[in-house]
């Protein structure tokens, strides 16, 4: 039986959160009984937070119970998403029947706000770790975190690593290596890895988030409980 892996598309998501794991998981269609699709509330161009728009292939109502779901993140995008009941209902229903529930970056805030991560080991973008904890999860600083059927990636680009780990779990090492080679994922960050000491010292989290806070709080104006947990 075909196993559908559904990537959620919603307004103002961060496109690399979605495209990183999509590019890794899409080739599974060649290696097994998988079907990889993008799903959204409308089959229209949905604006991302990087300028261009993304049009999903299927409606949420077309794919109520996929084998796996992948929930990308963003900044204003996921905060808005957790206030949208039709979308959150799909996330709850699809996640409860799915065998794999994946997220990238602040996509895990959507899962947590849906009540799905209560007491679970979880991760998110480094700047939202405390917020994730206040939403009931146990935040863990790892590149990706697996807890039962949940597999959650850290910020943005971490979705690529998480998706390769998921391919290995669903198939085998050879398939994971083949796909890694196909997308030539042999990373060489020109300045090396992230210097977390410098990030701390520069208080980068605060300075990156501060300009967005008024808008984020405004989005949650009707949801004081979420606002208090996310942006106390």
Among the listed residues 150, 59, 73, 62, the one whose alpha carbon sits nearest the alpha carbon of residue 109: 73
To a copy of itself, the closest distance from the beta carbon of 61 in angstroms equals 18
The pairing of beta strand 144-147 with beta strand 150-153: antiparallel
Catalytic residue among 19, 105, 111, 151: 105
Q: Looking at beta carbons only, is 60 or 164 nearer to a copy of itself?
A: 164
Q: Looking at beta carbons only, is 138 or 178 nearer to a copy of itself?
A: 178
CA dihedral 154, 84, 46, 36 (to 10 degrees): 60
The Cα–Cα gap between 76 and 48 comes to 10
Q: Please name the residue that has the structure tokens 């090396």.
A: 192
To a copy of itself, the closest distance from the beta carbon of 228 in angstroms equals 26
To a copy of itself, the closest distance from the beta carbon of 134 in angstroms equals 20
* Polymer length of the chain: 232
DSSP class per residue in 139-194? E--SSEEEETTEEEE-STTHHHHHHHHHHHHHS-HHHHHHHHHHTT-----TT-S-
Q: Looking at beta carbons only, is 143 or 223 nearer to a copy of itself?
A: 143
Binding residues for a copy of itself (CB under 8 A): 7, 9, 14-16, 19-20, 22-23, 26, 36-38, 45, 50-57, 105, 125-126, 143, 154-158, 160-161, 164-165, 168, 173, 176-178, 180-191, 193-195, 198-199, 204, 208
Q: Looking at beta carbons only, is 81 or 179 nearer to a copy of itself?
A: 179
To a copy of itself, the closest distance from the beta carbon of 85 in angstroms equals 24
Angle of helix 158-170 versus helix 15-25 axis, rounded to 10: 30
The Cα–Cα gap between 82 and 85 comes to 8
Our answer to whether residue 105 is catalytic in this structure is yes
Active site residues: 105
């Amino acid at each position: 039986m075909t196993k559908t892996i559904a990537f959620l598309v919603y307004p103002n998501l961060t496109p690399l959160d979605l495209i990183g794991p999509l590019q890794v998981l899409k080739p599974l269609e060649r290696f097994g009984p998988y079907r990889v699709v993008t799903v959204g509330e409308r089959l229209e161009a949905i604006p991302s937070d990087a300028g261009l728009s993304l049009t999903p292939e299927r409606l949420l109502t077309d794919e109520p119970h996929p084998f796996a779901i992948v929930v990308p993140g963003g900044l204003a995008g996921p905060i808005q998403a957790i206030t949208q009941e039709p979308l959150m209902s799909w996330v709850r229903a699809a996640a409860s029947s799915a065998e794999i529930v994946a997220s990238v970056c602040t996509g895990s805030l959507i899962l947590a706000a849906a009540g799905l991560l209560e007491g679970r080991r979880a991760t998110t973008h480094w700047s939202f770790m405390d917020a994730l904890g206040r939403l009931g999860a146990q935040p863990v600083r790892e590149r990706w975190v697996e807890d039962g059927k949940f597999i959650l990636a850290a910020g943005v680009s971490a979705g690529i690593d998480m998706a390769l780990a998921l391919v290995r779990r669903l198939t085998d090492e050879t398939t994971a290596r083949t796909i890694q080679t196909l997308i030539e994922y042999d990373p060489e960050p020109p300045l090396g890895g992230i210097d977390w000491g410098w990030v701390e010292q520069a208080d980068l989290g605060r300075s990156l988030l501060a300009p967005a806070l008024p808008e984020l709080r405004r989005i949650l104006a009707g949801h004081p409980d979420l606002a208090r947990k996310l942006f106390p």
